[in-house]
Amino acid sequence: MLRITDLHANAGDKPILKGLSLNVNGGEVHAIMGPNGSGKSTLAHVLAGRPGYTVTGGEVLYKSSPLFDLAPEVRAREGVFLAYQYPVELPGVSNLYFLRSALNAIRRHRGEDDMDAIDFLAVAKEKAKLVEMDEALVKRNVNEGFSGGEKKRNEIFQMAVLDPSLAILDETDSGLDIDALRDVAAGVNKLRSEDRAMIIVTHYQRLLEYIVPDFVHVLIDGKIALSGGKELALELESKGYEWLEKEPAQAR
């Protein structure tokens, strides 16, 4: 699904990713952990194509084709989805209109017909139910006046509607209390499937108690310093990141 080889990238002028390699197959859930400033969010943004980041080296193949040849909207249509750490408010744009526009852009890309408003409403209601999002929020303007938890839930709702092949969840746990975290994680778990890969970017192990990953990678100074199974997250929880930062990076 996704093959990252020796990726180097800058945020602005500053080198952040310094030779990151990672392999993600369909159906797998990978957690990327690491201290602040290690490049976790940069990785998420670079994959989504956010302006302000420059790829300076390496290669990313998505579904066997170079990802960086695609404009951000084309990546989305090809099934790449970023759940934002800080979802953006769109005053005056209804969630329904926004999501139907997005879904229809994806459908057109696949050569399918547009979905009309009535059919879409049915889909939106079904997906809202699946991720336990309040129907009132579905009809409101995108994230406008939403609480932190509601915004994160809206990201997962969007993911449910757009049905991506590769979902990148950037610090989805940040700013959530334990109940909200549990609800959002439950939504994500319902979206786990054989044809969908997920990359979960998180600072804390907490989220991984609810979304249990297949693989855990530790990102230190722009490179994967250590990879392991879900038990690695627990080890990091007790030992912190410092012991990894002091030692030279180990091969996976």
Partner 1 sequence: MTGPSAPFSEIASAVPSWGGPSWLSDARKSAVARFVSAGLPTTRIEAWRTTPLPDLGKMAYAPGSASTANQAGALVKPFMASDVVTLVFVDGFHSETLSSSVATWPKGVRLAPMSRQLVVSPEDLQPWFADMGATDGALHDLNTAAFRDGAWVVVDDGVQVQMEVRVVLVSTSTDQPVAQHVRSLVQLGRGASLRMMVAVIGAREARGFTNSHTTITMAERSRLDLVRVHESPPGVPHFDALSATLGAHSVLGDTVLQTGPSWTRSEIDIVLNGERATADLGGVFIARGTQVSDIHTLLSHQAPGVISRQNYRGLAADEARGVFHGQIKVESEARGTDATQNNKNMLLSKRASVHSTPALEILTDDVKCKHGSATGQIDQAQLFYLRSRGIDSVDAIRILTRAFASEIVSRLSDESTRRLIEAQIAPSLEQLGVAA
**Residue ranges binding partner 1 (CB under 8 A):** 48-51, 71-73, 75-77, 82, 84, 87-88, 90-93, 97-99, 101-103, 105-106, 109, 141, 158, 162
CB–CB of 99/37 below 8 Å? no
* Amino acid (1-letter code) at residue 3: R
Scanning the structure block, which residue is given the tokens 């979802």?
87
Select 106 or 184, whichever has its Cβ closest to partner 1.
Answer: 106
Q: Of 52 and 248, which CB lies nearer to partner 1 in the complex structure?
A: 52
- What is the nearest approach in angstroms of partner 1 to the Cβ of residue 4? 19
HSE of 58 in the Cβ direction (CA atoms, 13 Å)? 24
**Nearest alpha-carbon partner for 73 in 116, 112, 105, 41:** 105
Residues in the chain: 252
Which burial class, exposed, middle or buried, applies to 40 when counting CB atoms under 10 A from its CB (0-12, 13-18, 19+)? buried
Q: Least separation, in Å, of the C-beta of 206 and partner 1?
A: 26
Q: Are strands 166-170 and 141-142 parallel, antiparallel or unpaired?
A: unpaired
Min. distance of Cβ 233 from partner 1 in angstroms? 27
Taking the complex as a whole, the smallest distance from the CB of residue 154 to partner 1 amounts, in Å, to 12
Q: Which is nearer to partner 1, 18 or 50 (CB)?
A: 50
In the bound state with partner 1, the residue whose beta carbon lies nearer, of 23 and 94, is: 94
Least distance (Å) between residue 108 CB and partner 1: 9
Identify whether the C-beta of residue 8 lies closer than 8 Å to the C-beta of residue 58: yes
Nearer to partner 1 by C-beta: 102 or 130?
102
Q: Tell me whether residue 15 or residue 72 sits nearer to partner 1 (CB atom).
A: 72
User: Do 153 and 187 contact (CB within 8 A), yes or no?
Assistant: yes
CB burial class (10 A; 0-12, 13-18, 19+) of residue 118? exposed
Least distance (Å) between residue 102 CB and partner 1: 4
H helices then E strands: how many in the chain?
A: 10, 12
- The Cα angle at residue 150 between residues 187 and 36, in degrees rounded to 5: 85
Q: C-beta of 93: minimal distance to partner 1 in Å?
A: 5
Of 103 and 137, CB closest to partner 1: 103
